[in-house]
Structure formats: structure tokens, C-alpha cells
């Protein structure tokens, strides 16, 4: 046994060194300083709204969303919400959460994303098991497509019932916000001026339903694509327009070849940054 001990110690050292040198992700704060998961949770629960910006096909994003939600639940009552559920599917979502609709029935009644089963069902089922309200915060995609084609004015002809599924019209719109300007830049000047407006109607609607479902004293955790809340833009800007003095904190996901040091270009994208190895497997 004594002869085996040095070998075991060396083996464990190699294992630990390998683990430390090849992590799947590292957490950073806004200035690029590494931060512990425990410290992040302690900070999150001191706020009113947490916006988690994900990469839709990234398993680390989805795993972290679930773990953050579970751990925040230990400290605060929660309300959940997500971009991935459109407001006209709220009734189906509620019925599933109440146990009045089966998983198969929910799949038939709602427009679920292709990666729902692997990536979002765990969040919804956690809400169901813990009697947590879950808000479908996004505008039905057909109306975002309508704005993309014809601008905000294209919504003037829809019915009063349909307008209940989106932010109150007309929405406040600032084309100079960095996120919207960047969309046009990425299109190399070939994109329609209505493209960022379609993004804005989504951002405004998500902010609107976060405010509608927010319960004072509870922590609202919202799941959305990283672009909707990066740089404290998008949803954050619209929440701030509501002047509710909510304490908002953001998390985003970035991908790098070397995750041991956060690139300067990723600094300040959010209050906490999940830096994931760019070789991470996609969920679809």
C-alpha cells in the first residue's frame, strides 16, 4: 500500500492539473476578473430581475440556467419567464404547469422550439414541481415578421385581441441604441431599416411581460438570447423606460478559443460572463 501511495498522489495531481487547464467554462465579472459561482449567486439574489443571455444551442448555457435557477430558489421566491415561449401560448403553458395538460398535449398546443425537450423542458418542469409562475414573454413570431417587412405601422391593422400579446403600442424606439445600430452594421448596409425594429418589438414585449408578471419581493429570472440583453441594451433599456426602479442584473454567454483570459471585446457585455470553450458541442 505504501508503495502505491506516491503513484496515487502523482495520478491525482495529473488529473487535477488536467482539470484545471481544460475547464468547459469560466465565470468572469464585467471587468474580466474571474469570479466564483457562489459569489455570483449571492449577488444575483440581491436583485429584482436577472436576465440570462444564452447561446440557444449551447449546452453550458442551458445547464447554467437550470443550476442558477435551482440555487436562487434556495434564497428567494421566484418568477420565471422566457423568450422561447410566445405570449399567445401562455394559456397552454399555464395548463401544463397546473397539471391539466400532458407533456404531449403541451407540445401539440404550443409552438415549442426544436430543442425544447433537451434545453427548456427542465426549466419548465422545475417551475411545475415548485409551483412557480412561468411567463411566456415573447411576441408571437408572425408579428415580429410583420414588423420586419412593414415597420411598426404594419401592426395598426391587427385586432385588439392580438395586441394583448405584445407591448403596448406604439412602443418607444431608439434606432441609435448600440444593439440596433450593430444589426445594420452586420448587414453591411444591405439590411432593411425594419430589421432592428423587429428586434425592438421583441425586446419591448419581453420587458413588458417581465413587468406584468413581476411580483414585488420575488426574483424574476428571464431566459433570452444573449443579444437581447448584452451591453445592458435591448430588454434592459425597455425595462428602464418603465421607470419601476427595478434592480436588474445580467448574465451573458461568450465563446472563446482560450477561455483562461476574457478577451477585451467581451468585457462589460454583462455583469457576469459565462466564457465557454468554442469547441463545446452544440445541442442542434
Whether 1 has a pLDDT exceeding 50, the answer reads: no
| Contact present, 237 and 177 (Cβ < 8 Å) | yes
Q: What percent of the chain has pLDDT over 90?
A: 86
Give the pLDDT confidence of 225-264 residue by residue, as tens digits: 999 999 999 999 999 998 788 999 999 999 999 999 999 9
Domains and CATH numbers, the chain: 24-277 (3.40.50.11550)
What is the mean predicted confidence (pLDDT) over 139-154?
97
Query: In the structure, what pLDDT confidence band is assigned to residue 12 with cuts at 50, 70 and 90?
Result: very low
Q: What is the DSSP letter of 158?
A: S
Write down the H helix ranges in 152-221.
160-163, 178-186, 195-213
Report the alpha-carbon distance of residue 134 to residue 119 in Å, rounded.
15
Q: Residues for the chain: how many in total?
A: 284
33-42, 64-73, 174-183, 219-228: segment of lowest average pLDDT: 174-183
13-22, 35-44, 203-212, 225-234: segment of lowest average pLDDT: 13-22
Q: What angle do CA 123, 124, 129 make, to 5 degrees?
A: 100
Query: In the structure, what pLDDT confidence band is assigned to residue 22 with cuts at 50, 70 and 90?
Result: confident
| Contact present, 166 and 208 (Cβ < 8 Å) | yes
Amino acid at each position: 500500500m505504501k508503495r502505491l501511495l506516491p503513484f496515487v498522489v502523482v495520478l491525482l495531481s495529473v488529473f487535477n492539473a488536467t482539470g484545471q487547464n481544460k475547464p468547459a467554462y469560466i465565470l468572469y465579472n464585467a471587468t474580466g476578473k474571474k469570479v466564483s459561482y457562489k459569489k455570483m449567486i449571492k449577488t444575483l439574489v440581491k436583485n429584482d430581475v436577472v436576465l440570462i443571455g444564452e447561446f440557444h444551442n449551447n449546452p453550458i448555457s442551458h445547464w447554467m440556467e437550470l443550476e442558477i435557477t435551482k440555487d436562487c430558489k434556495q434564497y428567494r421566491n421566484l418568477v420565471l419567464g422566457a423568450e422561447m415561449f410566445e405570449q399567445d401560448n401562455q394559456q397552454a403553458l399555464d395548463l401544463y404547469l397546473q397539471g391539466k395538460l400532458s407533456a404531449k398535449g403541451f407540445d401539440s398546443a404550443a409552438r415549442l422550439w426544436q430543442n425544447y425537450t433537451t434545453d427548456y423542458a427542465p426549466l419548465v418542469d422545475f417551475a411545475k414541481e415548485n409551483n412557480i409562475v412561468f411567463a411566456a414573454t415573447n411576441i408571437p413570431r408572425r408579428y415580429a415578421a410583420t414588423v420586419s417587412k412593414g415597420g411598426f405601422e404594419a401592426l395598426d391593422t391587427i385586432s385588439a385581441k392580438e395586441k394583448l400579446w405584445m407591448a403596448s403600442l406604439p412602443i418607444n424606439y431608439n434606432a441609435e441604441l448600440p444593439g440596433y445600430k450593430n444589426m445594420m452594421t452586420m448587414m453591411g448596409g444591405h439590411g432593411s431599416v425594419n430589421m432592428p425594429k423587429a428586434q425592438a418589438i421583441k425586446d419591448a414585449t419581453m420587458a413588458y411581460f417581465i413587468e406584468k408578471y413581476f411580483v414585488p419581493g420575488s426574483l424574476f429570472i428571464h431566459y433570452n438570447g444573449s443579444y437581447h440583453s448584452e451591453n445592458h441594451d435591448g430588454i434592459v433599456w425597455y425595462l428602464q423606460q418603465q421607470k419601476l426602479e427595478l434592480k436588474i442584473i445580467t448574465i451573458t454567454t461568450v465563446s472563446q478559443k482560450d477561455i483562461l483570459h476574457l478577451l477585451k471585446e467581451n468585457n462589460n457585455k454583462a455583469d457576469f460572463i459565462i466564457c465557454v470553450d468554442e469547441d463545446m458541442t452544440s445541442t442542434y
